[in-house]
Amino acid sequence: MNELILLRHSLTEGNERRLYYGKTDLPLTPNGIALCEKKRGTLTISPNARFGHSGMLRAQQTLSLLFGEVSARVFTGFREMDMGLFEMHSYEEMKDVPEYQHWISNMSDELPIPQGESNAQVRARVCETLNELLSLSGDQWVVVCHGGTVAHIMRLLFPKRSESFYDWIPEPCCGYRVQFENGTAIEVERI
C-alpha cells in the first residue's frame, strides 16, 4: 500500500446530542447527509482505489454518499469502542452515576467501561485489523470508520509523534491521508 485515506463518518444523532455511543448502529442525520454532500468530490482518489468501512450504518452511508455505490470490504475490528453502561447517554445524564464517576476518576487504558470495553481492548482489535489491512493488495485504500478508531490507528502508525489520542480524532467527515514507503507510514496530511 502506498496511501491510506482514513475518514471519520459524518454526523449522527449521537454526535449532535454529544452522547457516548459506539455499538448503537445510528444512521446519519439530515445534517450528516448534507455534510457528505458538501464534501463529495473534494478528495482526490485513485481510479483504482479500494474501499472499506467498519460495517456500521453511519460508516456505510458516509462512504456511499462521498464515493457512490462502490464495492467495499467490511473491517469489523475498526468499529468504535463499546460504551457499555454509558451507551447513548450524555455527560449530563451520567455525571452523578457512581459507575461513571468511578470510571472517569480512575480512567486508564486497562479499566473497561462497565459492560463495555477498555482502551487497551479497542487498541488491540484495531491493531489486529490494521495489520490485516496493511497486508492487502492495492496502492490506495479509503476507509471510513469512527473518531476513536481513527485516533488509535494514527497513534499506531505514528507512535513517536507528540499528538495526544484526542488530538488525532478528526471532525466528522474528515480524516487523514497517510503515505507509506516499504510498509511504513512516513507522512500524514489532515483532510
Written as tens digits, the pLDDT of the chain (191 aa) is 899 999 999 999 999 999 999 999 999 999 999 999 999 999 999 999 999 999 999 999 999 999 999 999 999 999 999 999 999 999 999 999 999 999 988 888 899 999 999 999 999 999 999 999 999 999 999 999 999 999 999 999 999 999 999 999 999 999 999 999 988 999 999 99
Q: How far is CA 123 from CA 58, 126, 152, in A?
A: 21, 5, 6
> Can you read off the three cell numbers belonging to residue 17?
446530542
**Cβ pair 173, 156 in contact under 8 A:** no
Q: Name the class of domain 3-190.
A: alpha beta
Q: Which of 87, 78, 115 is nearest to 21 (CA)?
A: 87
Question: Residue 122 burial (CB < 10 Å; 0-12/13-18/19+)?
Answer: buried
> Domain segments of the chain: what residues?
3-190
User: What's the predicted TM-score (pTM) here?
Assistant: 0.95
Q: Which three cell numbers stand for residue 121?
A: 481492548
β-bridge mates for residue 72, sequence order: 51
